[in-house]
């Protein structure tokens, strides 16, 4: 029993230390002190800290504190994405969608966008909405699902989604809008997003 308690205390200590190091690294990044940020977050990223992996991935993606290196950006973002970091899942999806440092694979992109969107990630919800609206990346055309996704993203402050929702609403029936609103209200963060609607398919 004593060993278990010691192990828990040790793990909590590591977690607290990692959070302190990440906070320092993130603050340094925001202050554009990329050298200090890199020093703080690299050991944490290598130790498996998802937020640090995501930030390190961004540094490689943007070329901040390190030479721009898209393959390395993907490596670190994928590590964080596999741990459930929604921001990283969105970036991985975007890289597969555009074929940035990986063979273009829209099906894989959609899978990552959906994982992020189901965690309430507004940019991923916006991207998925575009795919449903314009019938791309193998997605069925469904204006109600698009409206629902943009409604959710808009509620999180995504201005592009707000504009898209207003635009598509002018082309929808009142029944379709009401279905989209109802689906938005019914959905909860962390649960699967619907893949089809009753009135919006093929619209």
Q: How far apart are the first and last CA of the chain?
A: 62
User: How large is the average pLDDT for residues 185-189?
Assistant: 97
- Cα gap 188→159, rounded to integer Å: 21
Asked if residue 90 lies in contact with residue 124, where contact means CB atoms within 8 angstroms, the answer is yes
- The β-bridge partners of 142 are 201
By the 10 Å C-beta count (0-12 exposed, 13-18 middle, 19+ buried), 203 is classed as: middle
Q: Shortest CA distance to 189 belongs to which of 119, 126, 121, 88?
A: 119
pLDDT in tens, 41-82: 999 999 999 999 999 999 999 999 999 999 999 999 999 999
Of these ranges, 7-21, 97-111, 112-126, the one predicted with the greatest mean pLDDT is 112-126
Examine the pLDDT at 20 and tell me if it is beyond 50. Answer: yes
DSSP codes of every residue in 108-134: HHHHHHHHHHTTT-HHHHHHHHHHHHH
Q: Tokens 């089809």 belong to which residue?
A: 196
pLDDT of residue 19: 61
> Among positive and negative, which fits the CA dihedral 166, 168, 174, 179?
negative
User: How large is the average pLDDT for residues 101-122?
Assistant: 95
- Residue 152 CA from chain centroid, whole number: 14
CB atoms within 10 A of CB 162: 16
């Amino acid at each position: 029993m004593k060993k278990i308690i010691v192990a828990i205390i040790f793990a909590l200590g590591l977690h607290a230390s990692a959070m302190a190091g990440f906070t320092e690294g993130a603050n340094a990044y925001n202050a554009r002190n990329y050298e200090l940020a890199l020093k703080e977050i690299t050991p944490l990223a290598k130790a498996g800290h998802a937020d640090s992996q995501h930030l390190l991935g961004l540094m490689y993606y943007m070329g901040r504190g390190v030479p721009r290196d898209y393959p390395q950006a993907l490596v670190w973002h994928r590590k964080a994405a596999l741990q459930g970091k929604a921001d990283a899942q969105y970036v991985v999806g975007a890289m597969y969608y555009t074929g940035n440092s990986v063979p273009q694979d829209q099906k894989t992109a959609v899978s990552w966008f959906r994982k992020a969107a189901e965690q309430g990630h507004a940019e991923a919800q916006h991207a998925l909405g575009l795919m449903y609206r314009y019938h791309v990346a193998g997605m069925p055309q469904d204006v109600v699902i698009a409206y629902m996704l943009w409604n959710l993203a808009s509620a999180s402050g995504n201005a592009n989604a707000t504009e898209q929702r207003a635009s598509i609403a002018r082309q929808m029936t009142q029944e379709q809008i009401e279905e989209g609103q109802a689906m938005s209200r019914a959905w909860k963060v962390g649960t699967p997003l619907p893949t089809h609607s009753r009135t919006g398919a093929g619209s």
